[in-house]
Structure 1
Amino acid sequence: MKKTIILLFILFSTFSYSQKLENGFVYLSDIDKSIQLELRYLSHHNFIGKPINGYYKSKIIVTKETAQALKNIQQILLKKELSLKIFDAYRPQQAVDHFVVWAKDLKDTLMKNEFYPDTPKNELFKKGYIATKSGHTRGSTVDLTIINLKTGKELNMGSPYDFFGEKSHTFYKNLKKEEKENRLFLRQIMIENGFKPYNYEWWHFTLKEEPFPKKYFNFPIK
């Protein structure tokens, strides 16, 4: 009897857990377990310096269509002994709201030296680094890079992820040859597989045929 109760509890917990996702969304690991991740907003290593509201588990959530497109890209990369590495995907509105509140607090510059050394914090809104709405909240935008599976290291893209400055612009002129080639390689493979780039952030791509182009979600990442 005790074993039966435990089994029922596990089944119920699993079922409840899966229901947290909105229709049309999936955990990327259920579609492709080989894609690597470093969910920065779950950690202290981000431009704010603390975990962001709405991030509770190291899980990548995206729309079904985005997951399949990423899987297709990953299969191409694996043949070259490379892999996608995702920093962020679906982002709940509560996280975006967290960014906005932080941006208005001009005294909080804990991570300035690493993420926005040359950009005054009071210009983050004007320059488009912080906004009240984000494509990520629609579930079909991803922030990512490529890693070398032999070394385990990210390809050199010329600037860190989430760096607020011109160095993050895809076609920034003062890049080394290798950095330019790596950015263009990432850009090309994403475009060829149904994504559109954002030229001010080399890591940022949105599925062209996103299923929720005007809807913003707020369920947490658990």
Structure 2
Amino acid sequence: MAAAVVAALGVLAASAGGCGRSSPEPAPSTPPAPTSAPAAAPRLPGFVVLADVDPRILTDIRYAGAHNFVGRPIAGYREPLCLLTREAAEALRQVQDAALAGGHSLKVYDCYRPQPAADDFLAWAKRPGEQQMKGEFYPRVAKSALFDQGYIGTPTSHSRGSTLDLTLVDVPAPSQPPYAPGRPLVPCTAPVGQRFADNSIDMGTGFDCFDSLAHTDDPRVTDPARENRRLLRRLMTDAGFVNYDREWWHYRYRDEPYPDTYFDAPVARASVG
């Protein structure tokens, strides 16, 4: 762009010299302001920030911070935002309407996940010494088995922009204590009240619990957690979402607009224009 501006100025100067003026006008004392380059096109076409579509939905974007199974912010998460395709976000607004009618609100943990984040997970999985969060997130599963058992995968449907991880909270939402790095870890399979004090209603395990107890229909899960999982699935299914049966929190919008495209733009407002 800078070269084009210089060339354009050169053309204008040549034209002025050929106008037959007897004496050129004095040069201005202040040079003109440089021409601004046009704004970059959005890198995630048709995506939105969920809060712009429905600010009532709560967010707790775990991969933008340290409270996750790796124990640090994940590559590609520049801001703690939920980005989704507009179609998925609009459908989620319908879910929120239904949830609120029953005295609950949605809370999202993860939405669009850029491909560099999936690559970060893959690289982490190949470093056996990095297991500082095992005691909470995969206390009964070997780290080397996380991919084979389907708890982590690449590519992931999250990178297509219509998949998200979420739960239900009561309305009004209870307070949630901030995560304190270095605190003693409690297994995500521990009973509610013992595991991390997430303000979610009881779902039987914590979020991102890599354990068969987190399978949506695991028979060991009893009421009220069993009914809470069924409630979330019913609300999401009615709006066109499909559950991944190994994770009670994981849903994909059935009519996703990019079923074969995996995006790599970072999680940031600038990525959606």
TM-score, normalised with respect to structure 1: 0.90
Deviation per residue, 1:33-75 (Å, 9 max, x gap):
1100000000100000000000011211000100000001111
- Larger relative strand fraction: 1
Residue equivalent to 1:191: 237
Q: Note closer, same or farther for the CA distance 1:16–1:38 as it changes in structure 2 (3 Å cut).
A: farther
The answer to whether residue 115 in structure 2 is matched with residue 97 in structure 1 is no
Counterpart mapping for 1:72-87 below 5 A: 72-87=94-109
Displacement of 1:21: 4.3
Of 52, 74, 77, the residue aligned with 1:52 is 74
Of 200, 216, 221, the residue aligned with 2:262 is 216
Structure 2: any 5+ residue segments left out of the alignment?
1-35, 175-198, 269-273
Pairs aligned (count): 208
Structure 1: any 5+ residue segments left out of the alignment?
1-11
Please tell me whether Structure 1 or Structure 2 has the larger radius of gyration of its CA atoms. 2
Residue equivalent to 1:112: 134
Counterpart mapping for 1:130-145 below 5 A: 130-145=152-167
* Structure 1 residue ranges, 4+ long, deviating more than 4 angstroms after superposition: none
SS of equivalent to 1:216 = coil
The answer (yes or no) to whether the contact 1:103–1:130 under 8 Å persists in 2 is no
- Larger relative helix fraction: 1
In structure 1, C-alpha distance between the alignment counterparts of 2:89 and 2:173, rounded to whole Å: 26
- Higher mean displacement: 19-28 or 63-72: 19-28
The answer (yes or no) to whether the contact 1:35–1:74 under 8 Å persists in 2 is yes
Of 193, 196, 207, the residue aligned with 1:161 is 207
The answer (yes or no) to whether the contact 2:99–2:235 under 8 Å persists in 1 is no
The answer (yes or no) to whether the contact 1:194–1:207 under 8 Å persists in 2 is yes
The answer (yes or no) to whether the contact 1:86–1:142 under 8 Å persists in 2 is yes
Q: Note closer, same or farther for the CA distance 1:109–1:33 as it changes in structure 2 (3 Å cut).
A: same
Two-structure CA RMSD over aligned residues (Å) = 1.5
Residue identity (%): 40
The one-letter amino acid of 2:202's match is N
